[in-house]
Chain A
């Protein structure tokens, strides 16, 4: 696979639109191109930001934030100092 073809597939990959068959070839090419491939994929993830920023921001209630911050503080207090937060 040429790097140009890899680039086309990387853009599909980051939005989750790469078909199963193409995924295997893509992963093989990704390993082959090494760091250059990783840098390009990281770059492609900026498409996500762009798509999100193309939308008009939506409003949220202040109560939602209060609830969230209450949960966060409760979570923090429930963890002994130095304990790592759990991964989900």
Chain B
């Protein structure tokens, strides 16, 4: 049985409420933290990158795949992203966030750039249509998967996301995993722009608040 992830809860409540819990997976005792590995990479230690890769390649690849839907492209991007991480490590600052957040931001940007380049060579509308029809609400769809294979952290985060109405999930999914603007989402879903904005704002707030509530369970 998987162990419940131990989530460090940092930060004090301020006027915007308690901070979001850090949602990184649990690290075994004695293993270096993500921050220690980033410091190692900044000192050009390949072993630190190797460990960080082992820890997060699955998550980063899942994110890339969710954007590009192609195994070979995802592998290429995964390699590029970790290479970029190595090259750009000096720009990482712990004050600006956690290493996982930095990696995810980097990966998402690269994957969306890759998708856009590809779309320049394809009939973008048709491709997007096909892909969103295949997986219109990936989070909703994933909720029916065997949760036995999912870590506790993932189950809890999914629970928060799945508590959103499907239309809000879809709007966030298109914005986050497709890099679509509010206008593009409105056009894609035949929804008024104002409604898209409201869906995004409400959905993101609910997820944000839901993650804060997870503090008690994680």
How many Å lie between the Cα of A56 and that of B142 in the bound state?
A: 9
Is A17's CB under 8 angstroms from B19's CB?
Answer: no
Is A88's CB under 8 angstroms from B84's CB?
Answer: yes
Task: With A7-B16, A46-B211, A53-B154 as known contacts, state yes or no: A75 contacts B149, CB within 8 Å.
Answer: no
Instruction: Provide the B12-30 mask, 1 if CB < 8 A to any CB of A, else 0.
Output: 0011100111111100000
**B37 contacts A by Cβ under 8 Å:** no
Which residue on B lies nearest to A17, using beta carbons?
B175
Give chain B residues whose Cβ lies under 8 Å from the Cβ of A76: 44, 46
Task: With A45-B97, A53-B154, A55-B59 as known contacts, state yes or no: A72 contacts B46, CB within 8 Å.
Answer: yes
Is A50's CB under 8 angstroms from B22's CB?
Answer: no
Q: How far is the CB of B201 from chain A (nearest CB, A)?
A: 5
Q: Which of B87, B105, B154 contacts A54 (CB 8 A)?
A: B154
Q: Which of B25, B96, B183 contacts A42 (CB 8 A)?
A: B96
Q: Interface size (A, Cβ < 8 Å)?
A: 48
**A47 contacts B by Cβ under 8 Å:** yes
Chain B interface size, under 10 / 10 to 19 / 20 to 34 / 35 or more: 35 or more
Is A58's CB under 8 angstroms from B58's CB?
Answer: yes
Which residue on A lies nearest to B149, using beta carbons?
A56
| A52-B63, A52-B100 known, 16 other contacts, Cβ within 8 Å | A15-B175, A15-B176, A17-B181, A19-B181, A42-B96, A42-B97, A43-B19, A49-B100, A53-B23, A57-B59, A60-B78, A65-B50, A68-B79, A72-B46, A73-B46, A87-B90
Query: Interface residues, chain A, CB within 8 Å of chain B?
Result: 3, 7-8, 11-12, 15-17, 19, 36, 39-40, 42-61, 64-65, 67-69, 71-73, 75-76, 79, 84-88
Query: Interface residues, chain B, CB within 8 Å of chain A?
Result: 14-16, 19-25, 44, 46, 49-50, 53-54, 57-63, 65-66, 74-75, 78-79, 82-84, 86-91, 96-98, 100-101, 104-105, 107-108, 139, 142, 145, 149-150, 153-154, 157-158, 160-161, 172, 175-177, 179-183, 197, 200-201, 204-205, 207-208, 211
